[in-house]
Amino acid sequence: MTLQNLLATQSLIAFSARREDIQRLLTAAERNLHDASITAISDENRFDAAYKCIMQCAMAALWANGYRTSTTPTAVEECQRQARGLLGLVKSWLKENRPDFC
């Protein structure tokens, strides 16, 4: 799916980012990447920090191209619908392929 398609389905909205917006996101991404390297925190929190860095980089790329994710109730509901579907697929796969994990 292209960015234009996501715009048409209102998953993305047009957005004019400022330099400060992008710099703020990149600074946060760098901070999260640094936090991910701190061995004194749990592996789970380190992973969360690294994952958040990835998300912030993706957001910066979207913003720099004139888009941002939609946070309308409809967009949130669509995200929830997709998450429910994915969770169902994962549970089904686990039940069939790795019942020891269920």
The pLDDT score that the predictor gives to residue 11 is 85
The percentage of the chain sitting over the pLDDT mark of 90, rounded to a whole number, equals 75
Whole-model pTM?
0.75
Q: Supply 40's token pair.
A: 């004194």
Verify that 52 and 85 share a domain, yes or no: no
Verify that 87 and 62 share a domain, yes or no: no
Q: Is 68 helix (H, G, I), strand (E, B) or coil?
A: strand
pLDDT of 52-70, one tens digit each?
A: 999 999 999 999 999 999 9
pLDDT of 6-50, one tens digit each?
A: 888 888 999 999 999 999 999 999 999 999 999 999 999 999 999
Element (H, E) at 69: strand 67-69
Share of the chain residues as helix, strand and coil, in percent rounded to the nearest 5? 75, 5, 20
Q: Find the domain containing 29 and state its range.
A: 1-70
